[in-house]
Structure 1
């Protein structure tokens, strides 16, 4: 039996009092993060010394004496804010991210994290019990299995004002691997369609951002003409946030359904290990790359396949899948992006993306763990 983690995200509907507590907690966790980040920076700049999480955690009670309002919010949330700072520093020193920045109260997304202790986070019917908040109304669109243990909760507020909670659960399961046999598919990334499979399935991605781009531009132009922080400015700002939220939710819904369809149908999925950030910069496809959500899609494929005992294999991004003939194996010296049909000297003619997806499938077949 192995231990796994899975998060469930739900919409919550706090009453006025609960919403005030949540908003105060956002501010308090931000204050703690910024205060101790400033302390770390100052200590390093003056004495060239570093400070650890344990040292700062001992100073937190002293800060509560200095600022009594910190006692009114969830104490674990304040501790988690310090842990987030420690993680940010580790990521910086391990060259995974940039140096930690101070958090702004004008940030578009606010959140805080709290840990489950003594069953203080639990679902009770149509309500969720949370520290300091009590019973909060929740839209439980998906039930959490009884053998899943809630480990932590992240409460957040989207730019459109809606509140959400993400419950991190832990469970044990003996996942038996499903034999891959010949039920394998290769996916070739396509900018407009998301992907073309080796079975000639095309995702036909609706391009949600492009559909609402004109409406979004109009709302953003309207926002730019308002007096900043005025009542009308906040009204239009909410309109912009709702459009962004519609795009995001539509994209997630489409990708969830598509990834579920693929992992249910196939025992193994092969795709290229692409660097989408670099691709968007080099090819000037920033909007299109951000719109289709390929990175989010591959993440969904991986965790859903894992839970079903199936495999997702990523092959080397430098493999010439587009230049290789899927019939004879000949590799072309060059192939421009404008050539949408692959023509080989052996007489093989095929759609460029379909040809590449077949090559990806065959390379991945040799990497599968049976």
Structure 2
């Protein structure tokens, strides 16, 4: 199976300048393609990425000497058009909005390859096509890849690539487990194990507000504003990393130790309509939790079962099977009026979900 990896690069000042040049060319190519696409469409034509790529290489690129500067990989323009074509494909399928122009310093990235040849990676150094050797902070697995994507996050550069790995089925300690996701506790298992929610954004919101206010007070275009912007971006990145770290730890534990996992098909977009809980729900990362389970189940030889969205796991008694007509969100302890069974609400739901594995 294909597994992607992303890690931080350890660059010199000169290498950071080279990366910024590559990102600038990719951004210019993407914006040129988008502007030309809109112009051609308004004139009654039906453009596509292949037509734009051919015209750009034959007529536009030959007149721009700064794109052909020494040390610049020429493959980045090709992938910029591929990204534009993918953006329009998502728009036509109704999966995203109309593509927007890219801004300098916002989601800077570019993709390079070695003209179809495999690129070896591994250890603490990687030889990038045309650019040369760059260092990483952590060791990379020894493998080969066809292309590399380099992006900038909070003024730091990261490298990402996909490589082929073999599935590693692990010995399971539990046959089946139900997983109930929540806001107070990130995940409650039917075995009684509870994983707390780190609440990374909520714990950092005061500092984020202070940094945002400091940024707003700086003069636009000044060096102090740029420094303040980087400081705010670094803290946002730290919050994101804390959330991802907790999700990876929980999903790794589940997939390595359980043969079958049952989770709910949560309507996250619908839950976000509740403005009183939207911030807390977004801080949990429910969609990312499900996405990680899906590919880690393939890697570790587990099976994922997604319960029906309308399955009343919280309202049903795990002891007698009697279903309540209503259950308030504030009721954290489930009390059955039929058999008198009393249990934690989340644990009761997790036990009901675990029984779907046998069904």
TM-score w.r.t. length of structure 1: 0.89
Deviation at 1:310, TM superposition (A): 0.8
Equivalent residue for 2:157, pick from 151, 158, 163: 163
Report deviation, 1:277.
Answer: 2.6
Contact 1:6–1:168 (8 Å) recurs in 2: yes
Instruction: Give the distance between the partners of 2:244 and 2:88, measured in 1 at CA.
Output: 31
Could you say what the CA RMSD is over the residues aligned between the two structures, in angstroms? 2.1
| Pair 16,121 (structure 1): closer, same or farther in 2 beyond 3 Å | farther
1:197 is matched with 189
In 1, Cα distance between equivalents of 2:116 and 2:144: 12
Q: Identify the residue that residue 345 of structure 2 maps to in structure 1.
A: 352
Q: Which residues of structure 2 form unaligned runs of 5+? A: none
**Partners in 2 of 1:50 and 1:248 — Cα distance?**
40
Contact 1:180 1:267 in 2 (8 A): yes
- Residues 1:101 and 2:100 are matched in the alignment: yes
Report the 3-state secondary structure (helix = DSSP H, G, I; strand = E; otherwise coil) of the residue aligned with 2:60: helix
Q: Is the 8 A contact 2:116 2:146 kept in 1?
A: no
> Cα distance 1:339–1:233, how it changes in 2: closer, same or farther (>3 A)?
same
Matched, 1:54 2:45: no
Distance 1:177 1:18, change over 3 A: closer
- The residue number in structure 2 matching 1:335 is 327
Specify whether residues 88 and 316 from structure 1 end up closer, same or farther in structure 2 by C-alpha distance, changes over 3 A only: same
Alignment-derived partner of residue 362 in structure 1: 355
Aligned residues: 355
Deviates more, 1:83-92 or 1:310-319: 310-319
Q: Secondary structure, in 3 states, of the residue corresponding to 1:28?
A: helix
Q: What SS does the corresponding residue of 1:81 show, helix, strand or coil?
A: helix
**1:1-370 counterparts in 2 under 5 A?**
4-47=1-44, 49-61=45-57, 62-72=59-69, 73-107=72-106, 109-117=107-115, 119=117, 121-123=119-121, 125-141=123-139, 143-145=140-142, 148-159=143-154, 161-171=155-165, 173=166, 175=167, 183-282=175-274, 284-344=276-336, 345-366=338-359
Map Cα deviations across residues 154-207 of structure 1 (whole Å, 9 max, x no partner). Answer: 101112x11110021134x4x587898961111111112112111121111221
Task: Tell me, in whole angstroms, the C-alpha distance in 2 between the residues paired with 1:365 and 1:155.
Answer: 45
Task: Measure, in 1, the Cα distance between the counterparts of 2:261 and 2:294.
Answer: 9
Secondary structure of 2:272's counterpart equals: helix
Larger deviation, residues 349-358 vs 236-245: 236-245
Runs of 5+ unmatched residues, structure 1: none
Distance 2:307 2:36 in 1: 45
